[in-house]
Amino acid sequence: MSYVPPHKRPSNRNPTPTPVPSSLNPKPSFASPRHRHHQSSRLIPFSPHLISRWYATSTESLALVPYDSEVIEKKNGSKPLTVNVTDGAVLVEEEERGVLKGIVEKVARDLIEAVQHTKEEARSGDVKLQVMARVGKVLFRGDPSVCLDSIIKAPTSEGELNKLQARKTFYTTVSEEYMREVGELLVDKCGFKFVREKDRYYIRVIDKRQPDLIMSCKCMTLHDSGLELYKVEHKPLRHMVTDVSCLSKNFDLRIMLNAKRAVKNLDADVVEGINQLISAAVIDPEVKGGLRWPLGKESAADRFVMVHVMHTEHKILNRDKIRVKMRQADRFDYHSSTGEDANEISLKLCGLPEQLTEDHLCEGSIVDMIQEVVALIWDNLLSHSTGILC
């Protein structure tokens, strides 16, 4: 039987978990020499000044316990762990809410500090800051190097921080039933309004002459089923991430600050190479990522190659300064030769980045805005039985 590349093999199209960050997996050898220069498949890289925290909504009687996830266990070779309370411990929701309010105050201070490293670029418009919240599950690598003390202790050096990031992931794939339930709840109970639906293709391209610079090409479909380039951005950079294990809930919470930089004044040869890749793409729902390329068209000018493709369909809901994105994503990563489907929910805090870059910012108003979003998530998005997929 002839060999069929992994991304061209048939898929049952059932949702499967989000990819585990490359830091949690040994780096596989590449199937093709054209990918050997690519050193990392992490979807969003970390800033050198990254602020990373982990908290729990209770500080008493905590334990690391196994978390059933067949997919992650296969990828890592061990069952992941999550933080829970010990048997017999009693959680009081009002006490957890009090702890959570204190955590939000710390998150606000971390956001203010993290923005200092990119404030001038944000003001000039060269960088677009995004404060996001996500629903998922905080998971830790199930190996002897991970213990509760090492998780609770805040990193005090860059080396310790890197170790923590390598041991931790935020698992965000949820079920289709949960997506529908949350969408109805937000509209019927929480006052959100449907804004629009989007269908986009994303192609991440690397220039061999600048191997550390990955360009994200956002594309729209044309009437003739081809692709049209909409925007080119640098790979986002993460400046702050806080994970909160919500012990009395089914799900956990992540709050993060990302910076997106638009690519300006591209050289003509770069534009030509990107357009060659995009014009050669064939939309094919039967392959992972939704796109394939004819043989010999996977690169351009022996310089520009793809490292990741993704097709997304998402709905946007809006209320005041909170925007909810409910996304179905179909991905393929050329680094690991793996693909997956994922259902994900994220909340964007619109207007907060502008407040964070003001000269005379008001920490109290920043805390209030984050508290509002966190309360919305705590009350409505963390306790649904249809749950996260395993």
Question: Going from the N-terminus, what domains does the chain have, and what CATH number goes with each?
Answer: 11-380 (3.20.100.10)
Structure tokens at 337: 């030769």
Highest mean pLDDT among 35-44, 127-136, 206-215, 265-274: 127-136
Q: Rounded distance, CA 143 to CA 147, Å?
A: 9
Q: Beta strands 127-140 and 338-349: pairing type?
A: antiparallel
- 327-361, pLDDT tens digit by residue? 999 999 988 788 889 999 999 999 999 999 998 89
pLDDT number for residue 389: 59
Q: What is the pLDDT of residue 110?
A: 96
> What is the tens place of the pLDDT at every residue in 39-82?
444 567 888 899 999 999 998 889 999 988 777 777 777 889 99
- Mean residue pLDDT across the chain: 84
pLDDT band at 18 (very low <50, low <70, confident <90, very high): very low
Q: What is the pLDDT of residue 20?
A: 33
Backbone angles phi, psi at 139, to 5 degrees: -125, 150
How big is the chain, counted in residues? 390
Pairing state between β 168-171 and 252-261: unpaired
What pLDDT does 76 receive?
Answer: 73
Both tokens of residue 188? 């019927």
> Cα(216)–Cα(232) distance, rounded to whole angstroms?
6
- The pLDDT of residue 33: 33
HEC letters along the chain: CCCCCHHHCCCCCCCCCCCCCHHHCCCCCCCCHHHCCCCCCCCCCEEEEEEEEEEECCCCCEEEEECCCHHHHHHHCCCCEEEEECCCCCCCHHHHHHHHHHHHHHHHHHHHHHHCCCHHHHHHCCEEEEEEEEEEEEEECCCCCCCHHHHHCCCCCHHHHHHHHHHEEEECCECHHHHHHHHHHHHHCCCCEEEEEEEEEEEEEEECCEEEEEEEEEEEECCCCCEEEEEEEECCEEEEEEEEECCCCCCEEEEEEEEEEECCCCCHHHHHHHHHHHHHCEECCCCCCCEECCCCCCEECCCEEEEEEEEEEEEEEEECCEEEEEEEEEEEECCCCEEEEEEEEEEEECCHHHHHCCCCCCHHHHHHHHHHHHHHHHHHCCCCCCCECC
pLDDT digits (tens, 9 = 90+) for 198-256: 999 999 999 999 887 789 999 999 887 789 999 998 888 999 999 999 999 999 999 99
Instruction: Report how far Cα 224 is from the mean position of its chain's Cα atoms.
Output: 31
CA–CA separation, 283 and 297 (whole Å):
14
- Amino acid at residue number 307: V
Q: What is the pLDDT of residue 355?
A: 94
The reported pLDDT for the residue numbered 57 is: 95
Residues 352-373, buried b or exposed e (16+ Cβ, 10 A)?
bbebbbeeeeeeeebbebbbeb
pTM tops 0.95: no
Tokens in use for 210?
């600048």
Question: For residue 216, what are its two tokens?
Answer: 């994200």
